[in-house]
Structure 1
Amino acid sequence: MHIDIHSHVIPSRIVAAIAAEPARFQARIEGEGAARKVIHDQGYVYPLFAEFHQAEAKLDAMDRKGITISVISPAPPMFYYWADADLALQVAHLVNDGVADMVAAKPDRLRGMATVPMQHPDAAVAELERVVMEHRFKAVEIGTSIEGAQLAEERFRPLLKRASELGVFVFAHPYYVGAKAGLENYYLTNLIGNPLDTTVMLANLMFSGRLDELPGLKLVLAHGGGFAPYQIGRLVHGHKVRSEAHGITKSSPRDLLGRIYFDSLVFEPQALRYLIDLVGADHICVGTDAPFDMADNNPQGTIAAVPGLTAKERQCVCCGTALKLLGEGSGKI
């Protein structure tokens, strides 16, 4: 069994809404059939693959990759963190109910992950409670930052706390918010910017004491945790020698890192081997990032290429950790 916790959708409900009111949603749908694409007023464009909005197409793609179950999450452009309360909540409802539609169509193969309007904290908590009650979702996807604001800020604590109380795991995923200095060319906004945003988010959560306050939070990081696992020694050293870093939390970043979960999307077998050795296979899940072009289209091959992978480690990465997060099993063989 292979369970993919990083698989994106743009459900039909939100596609239809954008097509009907492009001005309201600040995006439009162009083209026909397989040539359809989404064009956002903010400047980014991507193909509207059938896999984004058709459950059957998602399953066809999963079958090609050997994926048994996918936890489907909204594509990051659907976060709409820039929107006012009315629009943000409308988008969240359309997307989440659309995810639920896809799950209902293929309940044995799909699980749902919600989005919430993070810039409006009270509405975000209410929407999280709604999707857990109505759709039985076990996961929520949030951006690694919210229009430049760090997740460690006090205003986001109620959402994180409520997710912890509800047993919902939080999947933190970066999203495009404009090129930073030095990242304007060569698609570096994604290649470096995305893992950098994840790293900055985690460091802020660590040093601010937010993770100390939320011991039950199940936080899953996309793209193998960005750069954080591979520079954890620097964070640990800084925490020891710099008052700025240990002024609030007394917990070592190394100990806090052991509480975090990660997907496998690092594209380098030796890097995945290191991550397994660092945090344990029971904190790592398969992640593909389907159907974007930065996806891992051969996740079984990725896992098979990890040096010295034991049967127990393979079981954890392929399905055990994900089952534990979803509350569908202990995660053990």
Structure 2
Amino acid sequence: MAVNGGIRSGVIDVHAHWLPRELLALPPGNPYGGMNDRDGELYLGDAPLSFRTTAMTDIDAVLADTQQAGLGVRVISAPPFAFPVHRPREADAYVAAYNERLAEAVAGTDGALVGLGLVRLDDVGAARRELERLAVAEGVAGVAVPPVVDGRSYDRGSMREVLGVAAGLGLSVLVHPMQLPRQEWDHHYLVNLIGNPVESTTAVAAVLLGGVLEELPGLRICFVHGGGCAPALLGRWGHGWRTREDVRRGSTRPPAESFRRLYFDTVAHDPETLRLLRAHASPDRVVCGSDYPFDMAQPDPVRFPLDNGMDAAVLEANGRAFLGAAPTGSLR
């Protein structure tokens, strides 16, 4: 199973965000007070997000910016504030509405946009129902999910089971941090600058050490922001796996081996960091990302990897593989 319908040729940005205006209030229980437009600028509660509202909400604006960035395809998913994690039992209507609007939006773009939907992670039955709908929606390739929920990640419980459902349906999974608050990160934007990479790193470790890929060899899962701190910690994890029984209890392969089966985007902001990622990741598992339209986005998502040793054709092929799309040679 793969993304339904053809997609355009060119470099694929797997990491961009979109939310329709009618869903700016965010799911039930969100602590932000919702998102709102103020004179054309988007706010999260009372905090300005430093970009125009249409970049998040208007498909024509997203398409124009996609073309201007030199991309062939942009993969859009909800901003992490919209993940249904605060009161998930009350979020079914919001999740269904987002996924329906997403499918409508990407279906009208002639393969320039691909969608990743929303899903609950606390209830496998509810997740399965929504994932089955996404699996047959034109232009939708899978889901975007947070790395950590209520102190847990993907090595256990319902979160792991949801990955199994997604893998069984052939859906792609993009793991995106939520900027979880911690007291020591309440200044200098550390909740993002440190918090986001740490969240992603936690999920990478859970997948590697929890044996998720041994159980789900067909799972296509991508970690944004270059996998956070994971490339720099892989050697430490490997040492722990070799020397401690409690570290290797859940997995049969050393972390470095399983690491090469994960996808990572190129939002690293630094050539040396991207080089480190590429030293550890498989060459066919590094995909272009941007984090559009946030201020922490990679400003030139195509030029950054090309200027640092990557090839446009490889980036396209890798993006298509992550999405489960037909190889380039079969493009219309």
Query: In structure 2, what is the equivalent of residue 27 of structure 1?
Result: 33
Contact 2:148–2:202 under 8 Å retained in 1: no
Q: Distance in 2 between matches of 1:163 and 1:22?
A: 24
Q: 1:215 and 1:294, CA in 2 relative to 1: closer, same or farther beyond 3 A? A: same
Q: TM-score, normalization: structure 2? A: 0.88
Query: In structure 1, what is the equivalent of residue 7 of structure 2?
Result: none
Residue correspondence of structure 1 range 52-131 to structure 2 within 5 A: 52-85=56-89, 87-131=90-134
Q: TM-score, normalization: structure 1? A: 0.88
Query: In structure 2, what is the equivalent of residue 325 of structure 1?
Result: 322
Q: 1:298 and 1:31, CA in 2 relative to 1: closer, same or farther beyond 3 A? A: closer
Q: 1:271 and 1:314, CA in 2 relative to 1: closer, same or farther beyond 3 A? A: farther
Q: 1:196 and 1:30, CA in 2 relative to 1: closer, same or farther beyond 3 A? A: closer
1:152 matched to 2:155: yes
- Match of 2:173, SS state, is strand
Q: Shift of the alpha carbon at 1:322?
A: 0.8
Q: Distance in 2 between matches of 1:144 and 1:172?
A: 6
Query: In structure 2, what is the equivalent of residue 231 of structure 1?
Result: 233
Select the structure with the greater relative contact order (CA < 8 A; seq sep ≥ 6). Answer: 2
Render the CA deviation track for 1:135-194: whole Å, top value 9, x for unaligned: 452121110012322222222232111111111111111102322x53222111111111
The share of aligned pairs that are identical, in percent, is 27
Q: Distance in 2 between matches of 1:107 and 1:332?
A: 18
Residue correspondence of structure 1 range 156-305 to structure 2 within 5 A: 156-179=159-182, 181-305=183-307
CA RMSD of aligned residues (A): 2.5
Q: 1:258 and 1:23, CA in 2 relative to 1: closer, same or farther beyond 3 A? A: closer
Q: Distance in 2 between matches of 1:24 and 1:225?
A: 26
Q: 1:100 and 1:13, CA in 2 relative to 1: closer, same or farther beyond 3 A? A: farther
Q: Shift of the alpha carbon at 1:26?
A: 7.0
Q: 1:63 and 1:156, CA in 2 relative to 1: closer, same or farther beyond 3 A? A: same
- Match of 2:290, SS state, is coil
Contact 1:132–1:138 under 8 Å retained in 2: yes
- Match of 1:219, SS state, is strand
Q: Shift of the alpha carbon at 1:200?
A: 1.1
- Match of 1:113, SS state, is strand
Q: Distance in 2 between matches of 1:72 and 1:174?
A: 15
Q: Distance in 2 between matches of 1:9 and 1:30?
A: 14
1:5 matched to 2:14: yes
Gaps of 5+ in 1: none
* Number of aligned residues: 320
Query: In structure 2, what is the equivalent of residue 37 of structure 1?
Result: 43
Contact 1:12–1:98 under 8 Å retained in 2: no
Q: Shift of the alpha carbon at 1:275?
A: 2.0
Q: 1:30 and 1:314, CA in 2 relative to 1: closer, same or farther beyond 3 A? A: closer
Contact 2:172–2:324 under 8 Å retained in 1: no
Bigger mean CA offset, 164-173 vs 96-105: 96-105
Q: Distance in 2 between matches of 1:289 and 1:70?
A: 11
- Match of 2:140, SS state, is coil
Q: 1:246 and 1:23, CA in 2 relative to 1: closer, same or farther beyond 3 A? A: closer
- Match of 1:151, SS state, is coil
